[in-house]
Amino acid sequence: MDDSIRKKITKSLKRVVIKIGSSVISHREPGKSSLVQGLNPERIRHYSRQIKQIMDNGCEVVLVSSGAIMAGRERLGLTRNHLTIPEKQACAASGQSHLMHTYEKKFEKQGLKVAQILLSSADLVNRRRYLNAKHTIEALLKHKVIPIINENDSVTVDEIKIGDNDTLSATVACLVDAQLLIILSDVNGLYSRDPLQKSRRKDEEPPKLISQVNKVTKEVEKLAGKSNSLVTVGGMATKVLAAKKTMSFGIPTLLLNGLDDRAMEKALNGETVGTLFWSEKEKIRNRKHWIAHTLKPSGVITVDAGAKKALLERGKSLLPVGVVRVQGNFEFGNSVTVVDEASCEVARGLINYSTGDLEKIKGMKTSEVRKLFSDNFYEEVIHRDDMVVFFKDD
């Protein structure tokens, strides 16, 4: 069954996003996989040939490439484990130009053109900038140029970071309506337990590679471990969450070992390699996906049982009368999380009131709100069109 699904996915691909991790394009020494060795141009040359084959088959390619900080470490001689934020930003600034120059040289030998796009969180949470990024990528693809995307690490700090390039690749896949996201890392896929961890019991079964995940549950998330590498950010956990995001948009994700030179070729031929994250459940689309997965909530609204039922079962907007508690500091148009009285997330949406105004009207009927604000008010705290509801089985 897994083979037939994979062949169906890869049979007529028109657009794919490929995320190349730092560990895939770095120099490595046997037994020292976490040691920083700098950028390996030969690995980029290998992938330039593979991507040329993909494009020759009529498929557009968008790359999300890590490696700027790793390349900058080498150029600046900063190989110690922990760097300050300014040092990381300096590495990113130095390394990004070196990374792109290497991509440009190796891809040019295959007759391929590349273009650099650096994104920040601000480019994705603002709807107009989000669409501008989409249109720029679309224009490059139209002219047969490969966009190579990275986070703008030289000017971002932890508080405003997208987070990691697994998350970024999932966002980009949704942004450009890709048909497949491929994440290339230094692992074979998701295992039944951490393959690097020794067995605690003699009768414990060895870790098994999971070939397909139909739904990212809490149990699946628990299987994901942390990265032990100095050249990567995140680990399996971020890859699983990235797959969860793309699945909700209707995009399958393949997690492959990028150090296996034939893994991507096999995968695109429909062979069972790595881990496929995919199900054909109903998807969240376009603007609502942006609300659900790209915007960072500025506050939390707690609703009563009646409001929860109206949202989940009757498809209604959220009214002031159903609000029982307000947390955070938000303004009109910000994203907020809606939870029930047990603090379980019910929905997420764009708010029509500021924190102060919502505090004044929470629990009020519409007629009472009208008296307070005259005609200058919204009947809905969050309109249904600006809301994504999370059902119990999501």
Residue 33 has pLDDT above 50, yes or no: no
Structure tokens that stand for 342 in this block: 């047990």
- State which of 272, 289, 306 marks the end of a domain: 289
pLDDT of residue 132: 86
Query: Is the torsion defined by CA of 32, 33, 34, 38 positive or negative?
Result: positive
Residue 169 neighbours by CB under 8 Å, 6+ apart: 17, 19, 64, 181, 183, 242
pLDDT of residue 159: 39
302-320 tens-digit pLDDT:
999 999 999 999 889 999 9
Give the pLDDT mean for 207-214.
Answer: 91
Phi, psi of 150, rounded to the nearest 5 degrees? -145, 160
Residue 224 lies in a domain: yes
Please report which confidence band the pLDDT of residue 111 belongs to, taking 50, 70 and 90 as the band edges: very high
Residue 188 has pLDDT above 90, yes or no: yes
Residue 72 lies in a domain: yes
Residue 36 lies in a domain: yes
Asked whether residue 319 falls in the same domain as residue 245, the answer is no
What are the Cα distances from residue 270, in Å, to 48, 179, 204, 318, 370?
21, 14, 32, 45, 60
Asked whether residue 191 falls in the same domain as residue 336, the answer is no
- State which of 235, 254, 289 marks the end of a domain: 289
Pick the closest to residue 265 from 103, 59, 43, 47 (CA basis). Answer: 47
Asked whether residue 240 falls in the same domain as residue 385, the answer is no
Residue 228 has pLDDT above 90, yes or no: no
Asked whether residue 197 falls in the same domain as residue 344, the answer is no
Count of structural domains within the chain: 2
Mean pLDDT (the chain, rounded): 85
379: domain range? 297-389
325-339 tens-digit pLDDT:
999 999 888 899 999
Residue 162 has pLDDT above 60, yes or no: no
Asked whether residue 104 falls in the same domain as residue 230, the answer is yes
Residue 394 lies in a domain: no
| Dmax (CA) of the chain | 73
* Reported pTM: 0.73
Asked whether residue 101 falls in the same domain as residue 160, the answer is yes
Residue 219 neighbours by CB under 8 Å, 6+ apart: none
Percentage of the chain with pLDDT > 90? 47
pLDDT of residue 1: 46
Asked whether residue 197 falls in the same domain as residue 334, the answer is no
Asked whether residue 87 falls in the same domain as residue 139, the answer is yes
Residue 142 lies in a domain: yes
What are the Cα distances from residue 311, in Å, to 301, 303, 337, 378?
13, 10, 13, 18
pLDDT of residue 225: 62
Torsion over CA of 115, 238, 60 and 38, rounded to 10 degrees?
40
Asked whether residue 24 falls in the same domain as residue 149, the answer is yes
Asked whether residue 270 falls in the same domain as residue 305, the answer is no
- State which of 273, 289, 305 marks the end of a domain: 289
Pick the closest to residue 311 from 201, 392, 221 (CA basis). Answer: 392
Residue 49 lies in a domain: yes
Asked whether residue 274 falls in the same domain as residue 302, the answer is no
Asked whether residue 192 falls in the same domain as residue 48, the answer is yes
Torsion over CA of 370, 374, 375 and 381, rounded to 10 degrees?
-40
CATH number for the domain spanning 101: value is: 3.40.1160.10
